[in-house]
Amino acid sequence: MFSFNNITTAIDEFLNSVLPAQGALIVECVLVALCAVLAYVTLAIVMIFMERKVCAAFQCRLGPMRVGYWGLLQVFADVFKMLIKEIISINRSDRVLYNLAPYLVVMSSVLTFSCLPFASGLQVLDFNIGVFFIMAASSFGVLGILLAGWSSNNKYSMIGAVRSGAQMISYELSIGLCILVVVILSGTMQISELVDMQRSGWFIFRGHIPAFIAFIIYLIAGNAETNRAPFDLPEAESELTAGFHTEYSGMHFGFFYVAEFMNLFIVAGIASTLFLGGWAPLYITGLDAFNNIMDYIPGIVWFLGKTFFVIWLLMWVRWTFPRMRIDHVVSLEWKYLIPIGLVNLLIMTLCVVMGWTF
Amino acid sequence: MKQRNTYIGKILFSVSSLATGLKTTLNEFFTRKVTEQYPENRKTQKISERHRARLYMPLDENGNNKCIACGLCANNCPNGTITIKTKMVTDPETGKSKKMLDEYTYDLGCCMFCQLCVNVCPKDAIAFNNDFENAVFDRKKLIIKLNK
Ligand code: SF4
Ligand code: SF4
């Protein structure tokens, strides 16, 4: 099967032949960073457009139609508007932390983003504790949100940030439990290996009932992690104006906005990597002709297709349910998701030990 | 419901009620969208029959309006939108003089489209039509003479 490894190795050899080893390494780092950020921004634009269209469709509207054909240029108009806005500084705010917070949030999501396996060999970071690293990197985004709320010297921001902290720290547990289910099933934490193992069958099929429950819990908890409705209490525009980013304007607000969308992409990307086989194509045992056709679809199409499908699922939920109350959010996590997740973990362990998986 | 109080019952109940919500929005996702893209769809757009856009006087076959200048519409209009000027016309055959409509003025800018005037008219001499593109640059142009 075609692998991006060939291309990256060729570039690596070429750079090493014209530059000293140190120089080649630096150039490679810059190239990789550039590609990652470009992909990040492109996907963010695609997702903002998708969100508008999908949201409109769920509300029986058409969405943006005027700027460009079928509203395709709407997002660029939005970005341009945001870029020409003034970045205001708030009186008696903590200047350093106030300016730092959006970058922390974006950094955490870019770090996690770079772990996603887009196709065979197309992955920035791949090492033996990949899944663990994803969890660690994604969880420090909450620090940026807390700092943003605290440093803007505004009661709404503060309440939003504290809610966000409570919610994210709670739901991180459920995410951890769901990821553990997959780790138990596969016996590895390395992302490339995880995907390779799914070439013979996606984990959601191989792990049947416990994997399916874990998938559902992961989607719920992931939705909460990204602060989207019905878990958008940190923003809760009806009560907190805009929550933790009330005081931010211009591109600083833009960073929060983009990071929120990309966190959604990351949650969906991880879900599709762990449960739906990442870039591994769909195989049905016994149907060789079908499997051969599936092989011709490149891995990146598989990955993006699955990821956007999961994103669509999350958007469906987001545009269906109203915002929850904070006590309901917390009790959903601690009274329902965690016990179910723990039992589910036990079931999966049993299945693996008894050899009841496929 | 009894099972709603148990732990499992609660979970099952909420899952089923969430599923109902999801089903509703999924149907909505695939239905025809209601958005009207107005200036582009000018040729094909359909306005509801009952839409009250602007008052007019329907004419009978002979090209005459049916107004008898009774003034009920002007008296019933909450906004004083309608002004009626009458004239006395003497019938040449019988020699009796009769009140006739001279000028029926309707101020579109004042109207709140309550339709009281139409409902009160004993002769159905006035009605609302669908002619909704009424934007003009001068308010004086909104004062319309309805009879010919
Ligand atoms: S619709 Fe109402 S406001 Fe308008 S002219 Fe008739 S009675 Fe007056
Ligand atoms: S329009 Fe109708 S209500 Fe008004 S004056 Fe004429 S007949 Fe009377």
Give residue B42's pLDDT.
Answer: 82
Give the C-alpha separation, A88 to A252, whole Å.
10
From chain B, pick out residues whose CB is under 8 angstroms from the CB of A61: 33-35
Nearest CA distance, B129 vs chain A (angstrom): 27
Task: Please report the residues numbered 312 through 331 in chain A whose beta carbons come closer than 8 angstroms to any beta carbon of chain B.
Answer: 316-317, 319-321
Asked if A60 lies within 8 A of B28 by C-beta distance, the reply is yes
Range of the domain at A212: 90-354
Whether residue A275 is predicted with pLDDT greater than 80 in this model: the reply is yes
Helix axes of A130-139 and A141-151: crossing angle, nearest 10 degrees: 10
Whether residue A211 is predicted with pLDDT greater than 70 in this model: the reply is yes
Asked if A58 is an interface residue toward chain B (Cβ–Cβ < 8 A), one would say yes
Whether residue A6 is predicted with pLDDT greater than 70 in this model: the reply is yes
Predicted ipTM of the assembly: 0.71
Whether residue B1 is predicted with pLDDT greater than 60 in this model: the reply is no
Neighbours of B20 (CB within 10 A): 9
Give residue B123's pLDDT.
Answer: 86
Give residue B38's pLDDT.
Answer: 82
From chain A, pick out residues whose CB is under 8 angstroms from the CB of B11: 336
Whether residue A3 is predicted with pLDDT greater than 70 in this model: the reply is no
**What is the whole-number distance in angstroms between the Cα of residue B93 and the centre of ligand 2?**
25
Task: Kindly state the percentage of chain A with pLDDT values over 90.
Answer: 1
- Tell me which fold the domain B54-145 belongs to: Alpha-Beta Plaits (3.30.70)
Say which amino acid occupies A28: E
Task: Quote the pTM value.
Answer: 0.80
B65 lines ligand 1 (CB under 6 A): no
Nearest CA distance, B9 vs chain A (angstrom): 12
A326 falls within a domain: yes
What is the tens place of the pLDDT at every residue in A177-186? 888 888 888 8
A96 falls within a domain: yes
Nearest CA to ligand 2 atom 4: B73
Residue B100 φ/ψ, nearest 5 degrees: -130, 155
For a ligand 2 pocket test, name from B56, B59, B64, B73 the mutation site with the most ligand atoms within 8 angstroms of its C-beta: B73
Give residue B3's pLDDT.
Answer: 63
Range scoring the smallest mean pLDDT among A221-225, A240-244, B111-115: A240-244
Give residue B112's pLDDT.
Answer: 92
Which atom of ligand 1 is nearest to B113's Cα?
A: 1
A84 falls within a domain: no
Give residue A1's pLDDT.
Answer: 52
What is the tens place of the pLDDT at every residue in A20-40? 778 888 888 888 888 888 888
Q: Which residues contact A35 (CB under 8 A, 6 or more apart)?
A: none
Q: What is the mean pLDDT of chain A?
A: 82
Residue A265 in contact with residue A45, Cβ under 8 Å?
no
A140 falls within a domain: yes
Domain count within chain A = 1
Give the C-alpha separation, A348 to A213, whole Å.
10
- Greater confidence (A316 vs A141) lies with A316
Asked if A67 is an interface residue toward chain B (Cβ–Cβ < 8 A), one would say no
Range scoring the smallest mean pLDDT among A83-97, B51-65, B111-125: A83-97
What is the DSSP-derived secondary structure letter of residue A127? -
Give residue A254's pLDDT.
Answer: 82
A325 falls within a domain: yes
What is the tens place of the pLDDT at every residue in A158-178? 888 888 888 888 888 888 888
What is the tens place of the pLDDT at every residue in A320-343? 888 888 888 888 888 888 998 899
Asked if B91 is an interface residue toward chain A (Cβ–Cβ < 8 A), one would say no
Which atom of ligand 1 is nearest to B80's Cα?
A: 8
DSSP string over B53-99 = -EEE--B-TTS-B------HHHHH-TT--EEEEEEEEE-TTT--EEE
Asked if B27 is an interface residue toward chain A (Cβ–Cβ < 8 A), one would say no
Mean pLDDT of A116-142: 79
A248 falls within a domain: yes
A145 falls within a domain: yes
B111 lines ligand 1 (CB under 6 A): yes
Domain boundaries, chain B: 54-145
Which of A332, A330, A328, A277 shows the shortest CA–CA distance to A301?
Answer: A277
A70 falls within a domain: no
Whether residue B2 is predicted with pLDDT greater than 60 in this model: the reply is no
